[in-house]
Amino acid sequence: MSDKNSFLVFSGTKTRYLAEKICASLNCPLGNLVVTRFSDGEFAVSYEESIRGRDVFLVQSTFPDSDNLMELLLMIDAAKRASARNIIAVIPYFGWARQDRKDKPRVSIGAKLVADLLGVAGIDRLITMDLHADQIQGFFDVPVDHLYASGVILPYLQSLHLKDMVVASPDVGGSKRANTYAKYLGCPLVLCNKTRARANEVESMQIIGDVRGKNVIIVDDMVDTAGTITKAANIMKEAGALSVRACASHCVMSGPASDRVQDSCLTEMVFTDSIPYTDRCSKVKQLSVSDMFAETIRRVVNNESISSQYLV
């Protein structure tokens, strides 16, 4: 590190577990920030050390509830008012990203709204990972460093040394990501075509491709209620797959997700630690992205290229 005193890393409440690992990788202390909560649920943020003229990295994923986003906005505002030189939001999981377009009349575009809120609050740069849609980068008027979880997931998949591997996408929308994995691993691609009855509820699903006698890896960007991923796994097992594993960047895992994964025919469900996972499910494995984010922060501080961070 060229100058350890030129930057500081701070964390929001719910992402402290990851910020501590990032700081350990950077060999620097985690900054001292206090969040004061009032009895009505309102809260305030204050930095307990000088940040004047420093590059400030604020680590906070914006998963539900919305307090995480609001806490990050207050952290940005406080840093701006405390004369930080540059304010870099490090958002491993960018929430509201599924609302990236008008897919029917009279709906909000939440991803654009959040981008505007972060910009008005005062960020100078965003470091994030596996946005639900790549074009969300264009919602920002500041530089965006968009990292990919493939940097930690692909080496893990290779370490399994699976024979007759096939990569699958749980829906047509994720085919580009799955195709990238398939090309890197040098194996065939299988698609699932699904129709939804309503949000978070799959009505029907068909497999496009052959999985008989194969070890299947289902690739997605996030798993929320796990309805799609477990249904896809069970259908593939019925179609003759030897084993079915799933990997996703973000471990949303809300509602019945953990029970569904546990009760499914999935051998393993692999996530990164962009979101904390407290439910215990023996099939879930989390890989840490702390070193990847730490290296990106180091390169940003030193004005170095981050392109070598990308495997694919």
Residues with a known catalytic role: 194
Contact 297, 10 (CB under 8 A): no
Position of tokens 């405390």? 82
CB 152 within 8 A of CB 129: no
Contacts of 63 (CB under 8 A, 6+ apart): 14, 93, 95, 250, 252, 275
State whether residue 124 is helix, strand or coil.
Answer: coil
What is the distance between the alpha carbons of residues 37 and 254, in angstroms, rounded to a whole number? 26
Residue with tokens 């494995």, as numbered in its chain? 285
User: Are 123 and 69 contacting, i.e. CB atoms less than 8 angstroms apart?
Assistant: no
**305-310: long-range contacts, CB 8 A cutoff, minimum separation 24:** 306/145, 309/147, 309/151, 310/147, 310/148, 310/150, 310/151
**How many angstroms separate the CA atoms of 260 and 272, rounded?**
19
d(CA 96, CA 115): 10
CA 83 to chain centre: 30
Q: Count Cβ atoms within 10 A of the Cβ of residue 50 and give its class: 0-12 exposed, 13-18 middle, 19 or more buried.
A: exposed
